Amino acid sequence: MSIRFLGTGCYLPPKVVTNDDLAKLVDTSDEWITQRVGVKERRVSVNETTADMATKAALAALEKSGLEACDIDLIIVGTITSDTLCPSVAATVQRNIGSQGIAFDISSACSGFMFSLETAVAYIERGVAKNALVIGAERLSKILDYTDRSTCVIFGDGAGAAVVTKGENYLSSTMYTSGNDEVLYIPDNVGLSPFYEGEEQKRCVHMDGQETFKFAVNRITQDIKTAAEKANIALGDIDHVVLHQANIRILEFASKRLKIPFDRFFINIDKCANTSAASVPIALAGLDASGKLKRGDIVALSAFGGGLSSAACIIKW
Ligand code: COA
């Protein structure tokens, strides 16, 4: 027993920020960002919280699933940009949609949706939950330093969601963590304690781009191979690859290393940029809505990010 997907959905805030807009804030250009990253524009929230976006993606996925909010008994949100440390984004979504399911967040940066999906599978297999809403939602714009050109051009805001239930379509998965707070990290406030002597650091994304790039290419290749082997699927039989949309060059490297034609890779980085935990579910919802995804197709999902962490799974749609 595993799970099957009943519906997907996503939400992007309406404000579009182009590369030219960012070139007014930092020393960059549309040409550099397009060539080195593959992003042309990103969406940025002006007044919506992470939970607002997560709720809209959840409602879109619910509508496609044919289920009602009262049928959902588990809500998991992958996020690193919760609006409040407590309650969780998932608890706020639960209230907003009118569900009574158990709800909690998972913090695993850009792998957050994949880790959440795997957790939902475990809950459903144990019989703790029947129907789950799995969401990735981020308002990364609140943790970006818009004076740092090496990070602010890469990321965007948004949310993606999937409704899953008992089924046989999640063929295999793999997860990876390698504790590291140097390559990619986001410090939190040190707090108001009069006793604590730690130093306050800027509360924004700190990233060694080249190390992250190498980690990404190695993990995607390894994780998709591992998941495919576990599922007894040849790499050539994968119909669609839905990768974390971090850098178009990372996707191209992955295609070459895995020898899977690039036209099987879903791409929306040009419009959405890197939305961290929301990236894979937004891309999956985009592929689902495109009409290219047919029942029985083999789909590989794969993400990587802070932690350092990564994950992949193979789904028979
Ligand atoms: N505009 C113009 N120039 C920029 C720039 C920008 N937005 N950002 C960096 N540069 C400059 C650098 O300052 C450097 O200049 P220098 O040679 O004068 O020192 C030059 O471009 C090359 O920098 P480098 O860091 O080597 O570029 P890169 O080709 O590695 O691209 C990243 C940088 C961040 C785009 C790339 O490393 C990357 O995408 N890494 C992975 C990041 C990722 O996936 N993060 C998400 C993880 S979930």
Which of 10, 110, 204, 272 is flagged as catalytic?
Answer: 110
204 is catalytic: no
- Among residues 65, 70, 59, the alpha carbon closest in space to that of 101 is found at 70
The pLDDT score that the predictor gives to residue 2 is: 87
112 C-alpha vs ligand 1 centroid, how far in Å?
24
The pLDDT score that the predictor gives to residue 39 is: 98
Residues of the chain with pLDDT under 70: 1
Can 2-168 and 172-189+200-316 be said to share one CATH topology?
A: yes
What is the fold of 2-168?
Peroxisomal Thiolase; Chain A, domain 1 (3.40.47)
pTM across the whole model? 0.97
Residues with CB under 6 A from ligand 1: 28, 32-33, 36-37, 110, 149-150, 153, 207, 209-210, 212-213, 216, 246-247, 274, 305
Helix (H, G, I), strand (E, B) or coil at 138: strand
Q: What angle do CA 268, 119, 229 make, to 5 degrees?
A: 70
206 is catalytic: no
- Among residues 164, 151, 7, the alpha carbon closest in space to that of 74 is found at 164
Phi, psi of 77 (to 5 degrees): -115, 125
Give the span between the Cα atoms of 162 and 77, in whole angstroms. Answer: 11
Domain residue ranges of the chain, discontinuous segments joined by +:
2-168, 172-189+200-316
What is the fold of 172-189+200-316?
Peroxisomal Thiolase; Chain A, domain 1 (3.40.47)
Which of 10, 204, 240, 244 is flagged as catalytic?
Answer: 244
Residue nearest to atom 46 of ligand 1 (CA): 246
110 is catalytic: yes
DSSP state of 274: B
From 36, 113, 146, 279, mutation site for ligand 1 pocket: most ligand atoms within 8 A of C-beta: 36
SS3 for 43-105, per residue?
A: ECCCCCCHHHHHHHHHHHHHHHHCCCHHHCCEEEEECCCCCCCCCCHHHHHHHHHCCCCEEEE
Sequential DSSP letters for 227-255: HHHHTT--GGG--EEEE--S-HHHHHHHH
Phi, psi of 124 (to 5 degrees): -70, -40
